[in-house]
Structures are given as C-alpha cells and as structure tokens.
Structure 1
C-alpha cells in the first residue's frame, strides 16, 4: 500500500528547512498541520541508512555510459528497421527513467525508498506523453499502432454481456441450478476486492469510498446502453459488487488504516537490531509509513472544500469509466496485460496524488501549489477521456434514456439545493455570531468607559 512520510530527517516538507515555518508559524498554518509535519520529521538516521538513502547519481551515470558505449562499439546493430525503432524508443525511455530516479523532485512519500516514487513519477510523464501521441493520431492509425506493442491487438473484439439470465437459482438446470452465480465468478471478483482495498488506503474515508462505490454502480446502470460490459444482473450490482467485493475491500482497508494509525512509529537502524527476527521485521516495516496521517476531508466545512471533494469524486469516477471505455475504443481484451499494467500504474501513483491533493486542501499556506503527481494524474484522466471521445464519438453520444436523465437531473438539483441552503445557513450563522460578538464588545466598551464629570 502507499506509504506516508514527508521525508526522512531533514527531507522536503520538514519544518526545520522551511523558511515559512521558522517565523510566525501560527500565522501561516494551523496547529494540526504543524503538528503533523513535526511528527513526520521525527526520524533519526543513525548512519546505517546513509548508503541506502543516497541518490548515487555518479554511479548511475557511470553504468548508463558503459551501457551506451557497449551498444555503440561492441554490439552489431541489427538490420531490422522496426526492431531498431522499438529498441531506440525503449532506450530513450530508460535513459529518462534513470535521470528521473536520480534527479527528480521528491514527493510526499519516501518509503520503501524515494527512488521508487521518483520512478513512478517518471512513468507518469511517459504515460501522459504516450496518451498525447495516441490522441494526435487518426483513429485507424492509433489502433494499428497498438500492434507495435502487441501484434495481437488492432482487431475489434466482442464485448461480454454480464446480464442475460439473472436467476440466482435456475430450476430449469437440474445439473447446476446456481450456474448463473458461478458464471459471474471470474477473475474480476478478487480484482474488485483488491482494488477497493487499495482505494480505501488512498482515500482513507469510509463515506467517500462508499459514495464512489455506489455511484459507479449507478453509472453502470446509466451507461449500459453504450457498453454491453456494463449490463449486469441486479444482484451482481448490489450484492456481489457493492456488498461483497467493494464492501469487504473497504472494510479490510479501514481495518488496515486503524492499525496504521495506532501502530507505534519508532524506527531503529537495521544493524542495531540484535536478533535476525528483529532484522526481518524491520525490513518488512520498511514498506510501512514513517508516521501516519489521518485524512479528514471535512466536505461540509466550507464551500471550497465541498466543491473540491465533489471534484475528487468526479475524477475518481471518470478514471474508473476510462478503464472500460479505453479498452473498448482501442480494441484491448479485458484480460490483456496492458489493462493490468494500467491498474498497477494507478495503484502506485494514486496514493501519492491523493496525499498531495489533501495537503493542498488542508494546508494551502504551506503547500502553495498542487503536487506534481496529482497534476499529472489529473492530466492523464482528462487525456484518456479525450481519446475515448475522439476514437468513438458515436458510442459516447448515444442518447441516454429519458428515465435515466430524470434521475441524474434530480440528483444534481438536490446537490445544488443542499449546497446553496447549507452554505447560506452557515453564512447567516457567521454573520449573527459576528454581530453578537460586536454587541458584546460594544457593551464591554460602554461598561468600562471612563465617566466624564459634568460641571
């Protein structure tokens, strides 16, 4: 799971190195944010981790140079143009990754190692550039370009319909009356559970996770006329997905969050631990945070936070939909390794992006701009959607059924009405409170005003 830590001792985000924190701390940030940053920086390096944490820029540069010298002087260049083109692209990406792992700016996470998160930051850049390239191709060329990645791609594939016979118990099938349930039990069932377990570790809020889970099922209902893959039985939507897979994943995720929040964070150098069992335990804990940060989104506190939380939910749902629409317009089967790699990618970058978004919302005076990973993830989500719109506008523009439109319109009206009413009520309460305080101050001033004698 994603690990938390702004840095090891003296790293980025620590108050000891921030000129904003040195002077007038309470004027610039809240007590809670200052305490969180102080706690995350209480990590002592006893010298045993110095080599492990070092960037090794010269060593990486030397190894990279040796590899390039070998290719140039010792290796015979193949005469296959397509093969050389692929190898040149891969080599360019690897050089960029070497640069990023050693030179890129650190983000909010450092465990198990800062280079790990810098690597995924560079992968994010490469993926966004790849999406931009696909976006600028014609539909035919873009789909055929996928053949360079896998020759099996580039051909249209039928979508699987999970609807059809929705009887949980089929009396007509005497051999296996529960065959409809077993047919739905494919590899996506554990994927749903694991996905929501990891999403819970990213979002760290039970209500937000449940809202996103339920909202996505409503989206599947609303868009099943566009993608047959969204057509599922009612019990597949609400029992298998929401209650069992998603619900169990969220529950296990919240239990893990509770354990992480209560776990003591006292770190010791590996070589200072006397027993082998202690050393193995310390290595395992390298994949846990330095310290724990509880996300308190407080969506109803201000208009800005309410709109920000709505935006986060919207982007989450859009990224989920992109998973299905991308493989549909680019003709990728659901079990293809590229679909799996995309999910692994979002698992590694999503936690960092959520942390950067939370820091930006919770302490904007200290975090003056949106984090680099959050910016890239937002750009990727939008670019993926634009590819879907360009490659298959006919599917996207299929008219939504009138009953579905009514439900969504009613939901939007209710959210807008509640937003106006809640924020208007709070504004009025604030004005009344200010007027009350002003009145008390006025009474106090009159009570303690010196009396002027009259002659």
Structure 2
C-alpha cells in the first residue's frame, strides 16, 4: 500500500541521511552494486562507542520496526503496492450477481454445500487480504502475508469444527474433502531388519538402505532448511532435531511409524538430512546478514540485468534482523525458549498423530498442504515471538500470527487426544520414563541454580565485599580529627589538574 511522504523520514533515522536523500535512494528495489556502492548507503548504522540507554534502544527498535513494516512507494510501482479495496469489492460483487441472476443452481445438495463453503472462505480471504492488519514481513508483498493470516483463521475454525464432532462423524467428514479418505490405513514400520549390509540377500545386500531412501529423505532436508531460516539459531535447531529422535524412541510403542533403525535415526535423519539442512540454512542466513539492503525502484535501474535481479530480490527480506535468543540471560527468555522448543516438538508430533487418527496416508496432498501452511506462517510467528521477547515495552502483546499458530497447535493435539485416547494413554516403558524424569530433573535443577541460587550467591558475595570495603575504609588512620590533610605535592597536582581541565 502506498504510504504518505511524511513517513519517509523514518528511513532517514536508519540510514543517517536527510529525507530528500532518502527519496533519491528509492526504497522499493535492491540497487545494483554498479549503481550504488558507497558505504554510507548501508542501512545498518555505525556501532556506537558508548553503551546505549534504554531510550536509545527503544528508539532503535522503533526505527527498525518502521523500516521493516512500512512500504514506501517512489511512484514507479504505485499500482503494485496499492490495496485495491474498491476493485476487489467490485469484482466480488460482479461474481455474486452472476451466480444469483445468470447461473442455474444445480439440484445437488452435496455439491451446493461444498461450493457454498468454498465461496464463504473465498469471500473471507478477499476481505482479509485487503483489510487485515499487516505483519512484520512485507516481501514479496504485504497482501501475501495477510492471505496466510486469513488461511490460519480458516484452518483454526476447521479444526474447531472437527473437534466438536464425534470420532466417526469426524473421520467420515473427511470424505467430503476427498472420497478416498475415511478408511483405516495400516502404518508402515521402518524397523525390522536393521543390518546396513545384509549378506543373506545375495541379490542386493544394501536393500535396507535403498528401502529407506524414499521421498521423505529430501523432504527432511528441505524441512530442516526452512526451519533453520525460521529459527535462525544453530543450537536451537540441533536441540529440536535431537529431541525429536528421542521422542520417536519414546513413542514407538504408540505409533509403528516411529519404529526405525538406529542408523536411520542418527545417521540418515540427524546427521545427513537434518544436519545438511541446518548447515545449508545457516549458510543462507549468513548470506542474508551480509547482503546490502539498498533498495531502488525497478524503473530507475538502467540495465535489463539489474531489472531482472531486482525482480528476483523482491522475494528476499526488506531488511535483516539477526535473532539473538540468549536463553540464559534471564528467566523470562529461558522459559520462552523452552516454550518455543516444546511447541515445535508438539507441532512435529501432530503431523504423525493427526494422519493416524484421521486415517490419512502420508503421501496425501492434505498432509503436504499442512506442511506448506506451517512453512509460510511459521516464519512470521517466530519473528513476532522474537519481537515480543526482545522488546516487551514496545511490543506489549503477542503478534496475531503467533497467537494463531499456538492455538492451531494446541487444537490439533486436542483432536488427537479426543479421537484416539487409547493410543495416547498406552503406558510408556519404564526405562523411557526414567530417562525423561532424569532429563526434567536436570532442567529444573539447572534453572533453579542459574536464576535463583546463583543470583542469591552473587548478591551475597557482592554485599559482603562492599561491607569489607567499608570496614577497611573506616579502619584506616586519618590526620587531625580524622580529616586527612593533603600534602603540598598533592595540592600542586590538584591545581595543575584543574587548570588542565579548564583548558580542555
């Protein structure tokens, strides 16, 4: 959407330029290095020598928010950035008039019901794309992220509807989406023969490895590449990756799909697929953090190569913010990071349990659409969570997309609990319970030591040191009447220091 020219002054706060210079350096495109390569065009300000005060930090966060959320128009892409609310309303009205007056309604109740539900969803999406509140992302277009916000609302409403049905009606309702659904499917067991090299099979002794090399291998790699771009932290990604393998070990008595060979868990999943995906994601994050964010209008670029490059960069971030989670800095951030890890693991488990209780095969397109949905909404939700943690004074409430993602994850888990409580309540093996109990005790012990016992100890030591310093100062001998009389040399030094201070 087009923003007024008065808001362009926020760019000058970040770039250090006056407003007219910010207008000359157009904010809608990535300038080619041959066009603009001077270092003062960078959006990142110079690092100050002194520590920033609280007001300076909040002012920097406000400037960062403005440069990432506001979309500036230089006059060349006005049609592209405009919301087109009247145009969308006119087209929607024309479609409804056509359906009402010119189209004959079919005499099929099931078909009309489906079409009515789809039409209602489309009307809601049209309203949301044009009228909903913008999120933290603006590329490739703010309407793109408003669309996924509205899809989140529709998906949450669908989950609520399924949650309020009986188990039989909920599973049979899936037939309205795809007639092939609603039939119980056997789960595939990836365990069994775990020999990497099977000498008993003379035809193909490596058949166990080839059996595991299905379409889920590149899906694992691509999924963890995108998760790394969402989380933007190597340690958190590795912890989630390893923890999910422990969850598969712990829950393989509930879902046969979790039963895998040891080398499938730790070599193919953690090291190869997840590890390479995390490595590629971190390399991409490094490139995005070093990339110069200098934007220029498409029609202001003289060369065709520059125009094509500018169109490609439309799908890159408008500006870059490095996530510094710092979980051990305070108790609030530590609990928030634990909550993020927990929600990630719960969303991963919901993928397997939902298709199990709703009788959907792993290769069904609904499973793939759910993953595509979380890919698009996960990045926005994680950014809103980070902003809420990093500057709670400016971001006083949790973002709308983060709120919806949390509600969707919890609702999916409640559907699993309602539709198959017998599987969920299967007793966990005793040694697995011991391992999880030990892990929880270690986390709680470290939390108590780091944020309570350690702080109390440090405060006690600091108070004791100050008390000793005060006692030492009181015990020192003083001159006449306890008042120290400065010597002649100290007087001269003091006079010279005062003169030097006045001259400076």
TM-score, normalised by the number of residues in structure 1: 0.90
Deviation at 1:51, TM superposition (A): 1.8
Change over 3 Å in CA distance of 1:378–1:444 after alignment to 2 = farther
8 A contact 1:96–1:122 mirrored in 2:
yes
| CA deviation map 1:162-220 (0-9, x unaligned) | 00100000001111110000000000000000000000000000000000000000000
Q: Does 1:197 align with 2:225?
A: yes
Q: 2:252 aligns with which of 224, 235, 254?
A: 224
Q: Does 1:50 align with 2:78?
A: yes
User: For the residues of structure 1 that align with 2:5 and 2:195, how far apart are their CA atoms?
Assistant: 60
Query: What corresponds to 1:3 in structure 2?
Result: none
Unaligned runs of 5+ in 1: 1-6, 18-23
Query: What corresponds to 2:306 in structure 1?
Result: 278
8 A contact 1:29–1:366 mirrored in 2:
no
User: For the residues of structure 2 that align with 1:443 and 1:103, how far apart are their CA atoms?
Assistant: 69
| CA deviation map 1:397-436 (0-9, x unaligned) | 0000000000000000011111111112134324644776
| CA deviation map 1:147-172 (0-9, x unaligned) | 00000000000000000100000001
Q: 2:297 aligns with which of 266, 269, 294?
A: 269
User: For the residues of structure 2 that align with 1:340 and 1:429, how far apart are their CA atoms?
Assistant: 52
Q: 2:160 aligns with which of 129, 132, 153?
A: 132
* DSSP-derived class of the 1:73 partner: helix
Query: What corresponds to 1:255 in structure 2?
Result: 283
Q: 2:427 aligns with which of 399, 408, 418?
A: 399
Show the 5 A alignment for 1:3-82: 26-27=54-55, 29-30=57-58, 33=61, 36-37=64-65, 40=68, 45-82=73-110
Query: What corresponds to 2:151 in structure 1?
Result: 123
Deviation at 1:37, TM superposition (A): 3.7
Query: What corresponds to 2:391 in structure 1?
Result: 363
Q: 1:240 aligns with which of 240, 252, 268?
A: 268
Query: What corresponds to 1:208 in structure 2?
Result: 236
Deviation at 1:444, TM superposition (A): 10
8 A contact 2:387–2:395 mirrored in 1:
yes
8 A contact 1:28–1:365 mirrored in 2:
no
| Number of residues of Structure 1 aligned to a counterpart in Structure 2 | 437
User: For the residues of structure 2 that align with 1:386 and 1:281, how far apart are their CA atoms?
Assistant: 46
User: For the residues of structure 2 that align with 1:431 and 1:341, how far apart are their CA atoms?
Assistant: 56
Deviation at 1:443, TM superposition (A): 9.9
Query: What corresponds to 1:426 in structure 2?
Result: 455
Q: Does 1:165 align with 2:199?
A: no
Query: What corresponds to 1:4 in structure 2?
Result: none
Change over 3 Å in CA distance of 1:279–1:442 after alignment to 2 = farther
Q: Does 1:319 align with 2:319?
A: no
Q: Does 1:89 align with 2:117?
A: yes
Query: What corresponds to 2:172 in structure 1?
Result: 144
8 A contact 1:9–1:41 mirrored in 2:
no
8 A contact 1:192–1:241 mirrored in 2:
yes
Q: 1:350 aligns with which of 360, 378, 383?
A: 378
| CA deviation map 1:313-363 (0-9, x unaligned) | 000000000000000000000000000000000000000000000000000
Query: What corresponds to 2:44 in structure 1?
Result: none
Q: 1:390 aligns with which of 418, 425, 431?
A: 418
Q: Does 1:416 align with 2:433?
A: no
Change over 3 Å in CA distance of 1:286–1:249 after alignment to 2 = same
* DSSP-derived class of the 1:394 partner: helix
Deviates more, 1:198-207 or 1:43-52: 43-52
User: For the residues of structure 2 that align with 1:443 and 1:346, how far apart are their CA atoms?
Assistant: 63
* DSSP-derived class of the 2:140 partner: coil
Q: Output the aligned Cα RMSD.
A: 2.8
Q: Does 1:156 align with 2:208?
A: no
Q: Does 1:328 align with 2:356?
A: yes
* DSSP-derived class of the 1:79 partner: coil
User: For the residues of structure 1 that align with 2:461 and 2:315, how far apart are their CA atoms?
Assistant: 50
8 A contact 2:11–2:67 mirrored in 1:
no
| CA deviation map 1:36-93 (0-9, x unaligned) | 4466479753221222111110000000000000100111110101000000000000
